[in-house]
Chains A and B, each alone.
Chain A
Amino acid sequence: MKASSPRLQALRDAVNHVHFNRFRFWFQLAAFVLFVYGGYLAIDLGSRLPFFACGYNQEGRAGVCYLLPLQHQLSLPWARLFSYAGIAVLTGFLIFALWFIFLNKGWCGFICPLGTIQDWLTSLRRRLGIRYSTYSHGQFAQLTKVKYLLLALMILIPLGIGGGLFSHSMSPPFCLICPARMILPMFTGDFSQFTIDFSSSAAMVMTALGISITALFLVGSFVKKRFFCFFCPMSALHYLISKPALLKLKKDGSKCTRCGDCYNVCDMEIKEIADDIKNTNIMTDDCTMCLKCVASCPETGALKATFAGIPIFESTEAGFIKRMGKGVQHGK
C-alpha cells in the first residue's frame, strides 16, 4: 500500500479489522428499512434504481426498481417506441446506469431488499442448525445461464406486446413472476399481490407462475444461500454494463495461496474467486459483491474492494485472525 499518513493508516486498519458480517447485517437492515418504508417519510429516489425496490410496494417504497418502467417502456406500440419514446428509454437507461456505476453489484450484496430477505432466511436456517445445500459443478455451469435467458425474455416479451404479438395482460412479464412483487408489499401490510388474476388466460398463467415462483423462492432460499440471485435478470444486466463501475473487487493472484477460504464462504459458490490467479478484476456475473470473500481471506492484500481505484476494504492476516476468532482460546 502507498505510504500514507499514520491517521489514514489507522483508519484503514480499523476498517480492515471490522467484524464484517455484523457490519453488513446492520447495513442491510438500514437499507431495507429505507427502501421498504422510506415512502412513508416521502422519500422518493426515482424509478431507475438498480435493485429490487419493488414498485408494487406502493405506500412504503422509497424508489422503484428499474425493471418495472423498462418493461413498460419497451411494451409501447412500436411506432412510438422507435420514434420519440425511444429517447425516454435511452435517458431512463442512462439514469439507471449512473446509479449502477456507483456501487456496481454492491447493490445486490448490500442494498437489495430481496437479497436481504434471502440472507435473513439463511440465518434462520443456520440458527435451526440445518445445513445449506450446494450445486454440483455441472449444475452450476448450466444454471448460471438462466439469468441471461430471463433477461432476454424480459426484453423480448414487452417488445412483442408492443408489436401486438402478445397480450397486454402479460405486462410487465418479469414483474408478474418476480417474488419481490408479492413479498415486499407484504412488509407494509399489503397482501393484495397474492392473487391469481382470472381476467384472461395469459394473466392467469403469469400470476399463477408468480405464486409458484414465490413459493419456490421461500423454500429455495431457505435451503440454498442467495437462491434467487443466481437467476436474477437484473444481475445479468448489471454484469453487462459493469466495466466502468466505480466499486470493484480486485485480486492479486501473486499473493493468493488458493486455500479456498473465499470460495468456502461464497454464497454464490463462485470457484474463480479462489482459483483464478490471472484476472485482477475478479467479479463474475454471479457475484453479489457481498465482500464476504475479502473478509475471509487470510492473505494480506490478496483480495480488496476499491472505489474509483482507492482501496476501501482489504484482506489482512490480522483482520482474518480477529474475525475467525483465531488467536484466542476457546470459550473467551
Chain B
Amino acid sequence: MENDAKVIPIQAAPYNLSRQAGEAENMLDHIVDDFPDNPQSMAYFYDLFRRVYCHGDEVKHEGMLVGTTCIQAPEELIYAFGATPMRLCNGSYHYDQKGADFMPAKSCSLVKATLGMLNSETVIPKIGKPDLIVNPTTCDQKKKASVMIEGMGHSVYELEFPNVKESEASRVYWQRSVRQFAARLRELTGKKLTRKNLQAAMAKTSRAQAAFRKLHNFRRKSPSLILGKDAFLVTNAYFFDDIERWTDAVEKLNAELELRDEAGFKAVQSKAPRVLFTGSPPIFPNLKLPLLIEEAGGVVVTDETCSANRMLYDMTAVDEWLVNDMVDSLADKYLKPCTCPIFTRNDDRRRRLLDLVRDFNADGVVYQAFAGCQVYEMEYRSVADEFNKAGIPMLYIETDYSTDDKGQLSTRIEAFLESLKNRKKHRA
C-alpha cells in the first residue's frame, strides 16, 4: 500500500504568490492607496513597478547588459558602446535575508540584498544575466562583494575609484581608471568609442537629467505639488527602466505638475513639516522611511541620497566635443561633486545639505543609516554638528530592510514631525 502512495511533486509557487512579490505589492499598495490625489502621470510608474516587482515581468533591454553596483559607474560610456546599464542595488528584505550568508551579521542591508539577488535563480527585477557587472571600489562592503559575485558565476569588473577626491592626483587617477573602463567595454562589446556615439549617449542622459532637474525644482514649491514617496519611485525606476521611456514619463509628470502649480494645487497641508532626507538610499520596496514620514503628515521635499538626487543632479560640461575631452569631463562629473560618505572628508556633503535645506525651505532633516553601513554611521556626528550649528533639527534613524521596527519608528517620526510643527508655530 505504502509503495503505491502517489508522490505529489512540490510545485514551485508562481512568482506573484511569493514572499518577494508580497513585499513589493504591500509597499506599492501603501504608496498608491494611502494617499488621495496622486498625480495621474504617476500611473506609468505605479504600473511599471507592479509589472516588474509584483508580477515578475521581464525587463527588456537593448544590446549587452552591464550591471552596476553604484552610481559611480559612468553609464554614458555603457550606452555609447550600445549596451544597457542596469543598477543592481536592491531594496528587498527577502534578498537581504538570502544575502546574509555572504556577509557578517552586522552588514549593510543594501549590499546583502544585492548579493542575495545575484545569487538567486530567479532574479527580480527580471533583467536576465548581466554580461558584465561593474563594481566601483567604493565602500569596504562593496569592495569585498566583488569576489563573492564572481564566485556566483558572474563576470565582474572592478572600477578603481579613489577615496580622496580633493587632490589633483586622485582626479588624474580616476580619469585614467574611467579610460580603462572604456577599454574593457570595448573588449566586451567589440565596438568602438566614437565622438558620435558618445555624444548621443551623453545627450540621452542629459535629457534625463534635465527632466529630473525640472522635477527637482518643482519640489521647491511650498506647499508641495508632489510627495516624496512618488519622487523616490520615479528615481528608483531609473535603475532599470528604458532611459528614453523614463524621460518621457518624467516630462509628462513635469507637465502635470506645472498645471498643478498654475491651479494652486496642494499635495499636502500648508503646515506640513518639510523634510530633507539624507543618508542610506531608499530603494524599492524598502521605501519604509519616506513612507512613514508622509503617512505621519510630513513631506519629503528633497534628498541627498544615491538613489535619487545624487544619481541624477550633476551635469557634465564639455569644452571640446572630442572623445578624450568628453571622457575626462564625464570622469570629473562622477568624482568631483560626489558626496558619498566613502571619501575621507565630507565638507561637500555638509555644504550640500545646508544648501538643500535653505533652497527647499526644509524644516528638518531625517538621516537614515542602514545598520552596518559604517560610513554613514560614522558621518552622523559631523553632520549632526553642522545642523546643530545652523539650528536645524535632525532625526537620526538606524534601521535596515526588515519591517519589525516599523511601529517604533513611526512613533519616533510622529514625535519629530510634531516638534517641527511646534517650532514652525513658535516662529510664526
Residues of A within 8 A of B (CB): 126, 129, 131-132, 136-137, 253-255, 257-265, 271, 274-275, 277, 292, 296-298, 317, 320-321, 324-331
Q: Is the CB of A327 within 8 A of B352?
A: no
In whole Å, how far is B354's beta carbon from the nearest beta carbon of chain A?
7
Q: Is the CB of B203 within 8 A of A259?
A: no
In whole Å, how far is B218's beta carbon from the nearest beta carbon of chain A?
13
CA distance A126 to B169 in the complex (A): 26
Q: Is the CB of A292 within 8 A of B319?
A: yes
CA distance A297 to B315 in the complex (A): 9
Q: Is the CB of B336 closer than 8 A to any CB of chain A?
A: yes
**Please, what's the 1-or-0 string for B369-392, where 1 marks a CB less than 8 Å from any CB in chain A?**
000000000000000000000000
In whole Å, how far is B340's beta carbon from the nearest beta carbon of chain A?
13
Q: Is the CB of A264 within 8 A of B348?
A: no
- Which of chain A's residues have a CB closer than 8 A to the CB of B424? none
Q: Is the CB of A259 within 8 A of B314?
A: yes
Contact residue among B199, B200, B206, B314 (Cβ-Cβ distance under 8 Å from A326) = B206
- Which of chain B's residues have a CB closer than 8 A to the CB of A277? 351
Q: Is the CB of B337 closer than 8 A to any CB of chain A?
A: yes
In whole Å, how far is A137's beta carbon from the nearest beta carbon of chain B?
4
Known interface pairs A254-B355, A257-B337, A264-B328. Does A330 touch B315 (Cβ–Cβ under 8 Å)?
no
Q: Is the CB of B402 closer than 8 A to any CB of chain A?
A: no
Q: 28 A-B Cβ contacts within 8 A?
A: A129-B322, A132-B320, A136-B172, A254-B354, A254-B355, A254-B358, A255-B355, A257-B313, A257-B348, A259-B314, A260-B332, A261-B332, A262-B317, A265-B317, A271-B168, A275-B166, A297-B317, A298-B315, A317-B213, A317-B217, A320-B315, A320-B317, A321-B213, A321-B315, A327-B206, A328-B203, A328-B207, A330-B203
Q: Give 6 nearest A-B pairs by CB, closest first.
A: A330-B203, A261-B317, A327-B210, A259-B337, A260-B336, A326-B206
Q: Is the CB of B337 within 8 A of A326?
A: no
Chain A residue nearest in CB terms to B196: A330
Q: Is the CB of B316 closer than 8 A to any CB of chain A?
A: yes
Chain B residue nearest in CB terms to A265: B319
Known interface pairs A257-B314, A275-B166. Does A126 touch B206 (Cβ–Cβ under 8 Å)?
no
Output the residue of B171, B314, B315, B318 with the most chain A CB within 10 A.
B315
CA distance A330 to B208 in the complex (A): 12
In whole Å, how far is A124's beta carbon from the nearest beta carbon of chain B?
12
Q: Is the CB of B325 closer than 8 A to any CB of chain A?
A: yes
Main secondary structure of the interface of B (DSSP, over half): helix
- Which of chain A's residues have a CB closer than 8 A to the CB of B351? 253-254, 277
Known interface pairs A254-B354, A324-B315, A329-B203. Does A259 touch B336 (Cβ–Cβ under 8 Å)?
yes
In whole Å, how far is B202's beta carbon from the nearest beta carbon of chain A?
8
Main secondary structure of the interface of A (DSSP, over half): loop
- Which of chain B's residues have a CB closer than 8 A to the CB of A259? 314-315, 332-333, 336-337
In whole Å, how far is B362's beta carbon from the nearest beta carbon of chain A?
15
Q: Is the CB of B329 closer than 8 A to any CB of chain A?
A: yes
Q: Which of B293-317 contact A (CB under 8 A)?
A: 313-317
- Which of chain A's residues have a CB closer than 8 A to the CB of B352? 257
- Which of chain B's residues have a CB closer than 8 A to the CB of A320? 315, 317
Q: Is the CB of B324 closer than 8 A to any CB of chain A?
A: yes
CA distance A257 to B348 in the complex (A): 7
Q: Which of B259-276 contact A (CB under 8 A)?
A: none
Residues of B within 8 A of A (CB): 166, 168-169, 171-172, 199-200, 203-204, 206-207, 209-211, 213, 217, 313-320, 322, 324-325, 328-329, 332-333, 335-337, 348, 351-352, 354-355, 358
CA distance A285 to B206 in the complex (A): 34
Q: Is the CB of B207 within 8 A of A329?
A: yes
Chain A residue nearest in CB terms to B325: A131
Known interface pairs A264-B328, A328-B203, A330-B199. Does A274 touch B210 (Cβ–Cβ under 8 Å)?
no
Output the residue of B204, B314, B335 with the most chain A CB within 10 A.
B314
CA distance A320 to B210 in the complex (A): 10
CA distance A51 to B279 in the complex (A): 52
Q: Is the CB of A126 within 8 A of B322?
A: yes
Q: Is the CB of A324 within 8 A of B318?
A: yes
Q: Is the CB of B332 within 8 A of A137?
A: no
- Which of chain B's residues have a CB closer than 8 A to the CB of A255? 355
Q: Is the CB of A126 within 8 A of B320?
A: yes
Output the residue of B166, B172, B207, B217 with the most chain A CB within 10 A.
B207
Q: Is the CB of A321 within 8 A of B210?
A: yes
Output the residue of A255, A259, A271, A328 with the most chain B CB within 10 A.
A259
Q: Please name 15 further chain A to chain B contacts, defined as beta carbons within 8 Å, in addition to the given A265-B319, A329-B207, sorted by A numbering.
A: A131-B324, A254-B351, A257-B313, A257-B337, A259-B314, A259-B315, A259-B333, A298-B315, A298-B317, A317-B213, A320-B317, A327-B210, A329-B203, A330-B199, A331-B203
Q: Is the CB of B210 within 8 A of A330?
A: no
CA distance A328 to B124 in the complex (A): 33
- Which of chain B's residues have a CB closer than 8 A to the CB of A329? 203, 207
Known interface pairs A329-B203, A330-B204. Does A264 touch B329 (Cβ–Cβ under 8 Å)?
yes
In whole Å, how far is B276's beta carbon from the nearest beta carbon of chain A?
16
In whole Å, how far is B327's beta carbon from the nearest beta carbon of chain A?
11
Chain A residue nearest in CB terms to B206: A326
In whole Å, how far is A104's beta carbon from the nearest beta carbon of chain B?
23
- Which of chain B's residues have a CB closer than 8 A to the CB of A271? 168
Q: Is the CB of B329 within 8 A of A326?
A: no
Q: Is the CB of B207 within 8 A of A326?
A: yes
In whole Å, how far is B387's beta carbon from the nearest beta carbon of chain A?
15
Contact residue among A137, A317, A324, A331 (Cβ-Cβ distance under 8 Å from B317) = A324
Output the residue of A253, A297, A317, A326 with the most chain B CB within 10 A.
A326
In whole Å, how far is B76's beta carbon from the nearest beta carbon of chain A?
12
CA distance A271 to B354 in the complex (A): 24
Q: Is the CB of B332 within 8 A of A264?
A: yes
- Which of chain B's residues have a CB closer than 8 A to the CB of A265? 317-319
In whole Å, how far is B217's beta carbon from the nearest beta carbon of chain A?
8
Chain A residue nearest in CB terms to B354: A254
- Which of chain A's residues have a CB closer than 8 A to the CB of B322? 126, 129, 131
